[in-house]
Structure 1
């Protein structure tokens, strides 16, 4: 019995070490581009992506680089992605840099470094967040509504 435990322990340890690699590989699975409708867009000199409906489209956006603000919109206890959010990004009160209607469920934006207020509105229910966006790593914001909002 000692020999079995001595053999299984290293296997279990390797399995645990491989878990992050396996989950990362899952996110890099091939994408069926026929189902992807996401295109780079620009407003006021700010580039962004909005979409993520369906698994292939959400993977395509998540694998995109070059955007320093990542937003995710969801609803309900099951965190279901939702594509019907109005987004307002302001650099300072009254200084709007981006306005999107019916955006999501994923929105990736490339902003100049600085502090921003993000307002996400769905069915009249507003969610806000303030974030410092830099040039090195992306900021992730998640906006969630309860199922009855």
Structure 2
């Protein structure tokens, strides 16, 4: 029974975290740009946005078009956003295209089409996901850690 519960919590977290993305009306509300500190950055020719601290900043990132990989980082039973995650995106084993430290809670990346491995590490605990990024709909990855500390 313990295995089922530990599996269900992350599924519940994924559903809860994706809910804002499904509510288009909420995402289209005006953003108070005075509270937004997000600027496009670039590493190895890859454009990305990182941030989402505060409602206006998270809405600003969610409303920015052109990013085909969307990552969300959360912790604990309350699925609180966390901004202390190290991210590595690899095109192939050993071929790193992006490395970010102490980032989040939202990271949006503009990648060339292809298959990528994403490693998200928080407090020494790594989550891994593999995704195919194309020119169509953006891929959404949610990384969750059980501890809130």
TM interval, short-chain normalised: 0.7 to 0.9
Match of 1:110 in 2: 110
What whole-Å deviation, never above 9, does each CA across 1:84-136 have from its counterpart, x for those lacking one? Answer: 10000000000000000011000000000000000000000000000000011
Q: SS state of the match for residue 135, structure 1?
A: coil
Matches within 5 A, 1:80-119: 80-119=80-119
Q: Normalising by structure 1, what TM-score?
A: 0.83
DSSP-derived class of the 2:60 partner: helix
2: distance between equivalents of 1:132 and 1:68?
A: 10
Q: Deviations over 1:14-54 (max 9, x none)?
A: xxxxxxxxx43222111111110000000000000000000
SS at match of 2:58: helix
* Alignment map for 1:44-123 (pairs within 5 Å): 44-123=44-123
Structure showing greater Rg? 1
- Give TM-score scaled by structure 2 length: 0.83
Could you list the structure 1 runs, at least 4 aligned residues long, displaced by more than 4 angstroms after superposition.
Answer: none
Tell me by how many angstroms 1:55 deviates. Answer: 0.3
**1:147 — aligned with what?**
147
Distance in 2, matches of 1:130 and 1:104, equals 19
Deviation at 1:148, TM superposition (A): 5.5
Change (3 A) 1:25 1:148: closer
CA–CA distance in 2 between the matches of 1:103 and 1:38? 12
Q: In 2 relative to 1, CA 83–148 (structure 1 residues): closer, same or farther, beyond 3 Å?
A: closer
List gaps (5 residues or longer) in structure 1: 1-22
